Amino acid sequence: MELIVYEMKRLVLEGFVFGQHMANLPRDDDGNLIVRIGHSPDPDDAFMFHAMTTNAFPTPGYNFVHELQDIETLNHRAMNQELEVSAVSIHAYPDISDHYALMNCGASMGEGYGPMIVAKKGLSLEDAQASTIAVPGLKTSAYLGLRLAWGDVNVEVVPFDEIIPRILDDTYECGLIIHEGQLTYVEHDLNVLIDLGVWWNERTDGWPMPLGGNVVRRDLGQKVMEDITMYTKMSIEHSIAHPEEALEFAKAWGRGIDDETNQKFVTMYVNDRTIDYKPEGRSSIRRFLKEGQELGMIRNDFDVETLSFIGAVE
């Protein structure tokens, strides 16, 4: 009897606290909860969120507002708990894990491909490793992958879309490229010194390389986190089922790429794994972060083994 009374009190208290959180969150004129979603202005993210952005299906009780910024900015905004939902680098997740939970959908994972170090032809691997490498951010998963592969190298942070131009004008001898640069580098006759997705795939017996994920703020409460995750998954599924419209929408964020490159890039990073990480995807994330801890780049008190994913069926 005492146990039943205790459980009722706990549920009442949780409901009260949950109600307080909900009362403090903004709502639109129709009473829908306004949920701000931060994601990168890139074709794969645009494709993923196309259905939610264009209200392609009803989301009763929720009004999703999209804020587009580069991934390094989103990483830092998540550290300040500014957005209800955000795309983040897997590398950055442990720093925000007290306040955000990882969704089981929205993954960007390299299935035998990923960020690359590129340079003009003729630069040796040894000279590249001894040079100052342009990188897109110190909290990007690409940078953690680079450190795992090449160790303690000299780097300078450069906006991701300026890395190839800075190699071409000889500001840097090599750089770490992400996003559509992983396809467009060939147009500039650059040489790949290492593909980190291939490197990770080979050393993990075929696991995909973790790059980005979607997180949802814990103070929204379990039900709201699950609702938002459900709608995000529905948006991804809708775009995959109706690719023509979503690809046309995504192309606007491709910085001048053609239709073929747009489709190739989107399908690289929006696929069945984006709908569900799947067991090997979740295991790959845990290993990636564990190796980051061993390198001293991930906080030691982050419990990799108990990392959970909203919406996952383990």
- Pick the range with the lowest mean pLDDT from 6-15, 95-104, 193-202: 6-15
Cα angle value 54/55/56 (rounded, 5°): 90
In this prediction, residue 308 has a pLDDT band, given cuts at 50, 70 and 90, of very high
Backbone angles phi and psi of 70, in degrees to 5: -65, 160
- Pick the range with the lowest mean pLDDT from 32-36, 114-118, 120-124, 177-181: 177-181
Give residue 10's pLDDT: 35
pLDDT surpasses 60 at 3: no
Provide the residue type at 3 as one letter. Answer: L
Domains of the chain: 2-110+210-310 (3.40.190.10), 116-203 (3.40.190.10)
Q: What percentage of residues in the chain have a pLDDT greater than 70?
A: 89
pLDDT surpasses 90 at 174: yes
Give residue 42's pLDDT: 74
Can you spell out the DSSP letters for the chain? -HHHHHHHHHHHHHHHHHHHHHHHS-B-TTSPEEEEEEE-SSHHHHHHTHHHHTT-S--TTEEEEEEE--HHHHHHHHHTT--SEEEEEGGGHHHHTTTEEEESS--EEESS---EEEEETT--HHHHHHSEEEES-TTSHHHHHHHHHH-S-EEEE--GGGHHHHHHTTS-SEEEE-TTHHHHGGGGTEEEEEEHHHHHHHHTTSPPEEEEEEEEEGGG-HHHHHHHHHHHHHHHHHHHHSHHHHHHHHHTTSTT--HHHHHHHHHHHSSHHHH--HHHHHHHHHHHHHHHHHTT-S-TT--STT--EET---
Identify any residues that bridge with 250 across adjacent strands, giving them in sequence order: none
| 179 counts as catalytic | yes
Give residue 29's pLDDT: 86
pLDDT tens digits along 25-65: 789 888 999 999 888 777 778 888 888 878 899 999 999 98
Compare 12 and 170 and report the one with higher pLDDT: 170
Tokens read off for 125: 């691997």
Q: Which of 39, 50, 91, 179 is catalytic?
A: 179
Query: Taking the chain, what is the end-to-end CA distance rounded to the nearest angstrom?
Result: 33
CA torsion, points 122, 159, 212, 53, in degrees to nearest 10?
-130
Compare 85 and 182 and report the one with higher pLDDT: 85
pLDDT tens digits along 219-275: 999 999 999 999 999 999 998 888 888 777 766 655 666 777 767 777 777 888 999
For residues 284-304, average pLDDT: 97
Give residue 126's pLDDT: 97
CA distance 21 to 25: 7
In this prediction, residue 4 has a pLDDT band, given cuts at 50, 70 and 90, of very low
Cα angle value 132/151/141 (rounded, 5°): 85
pLDDT surpasses 50 at 206: yes
**Residues 6 or more apart in contact with residue 75 via CB below 8 angstroms:** 88, 89, 92, 137, 139, 140
Mean pLDDT of all residues in the chain?
Answer: 87
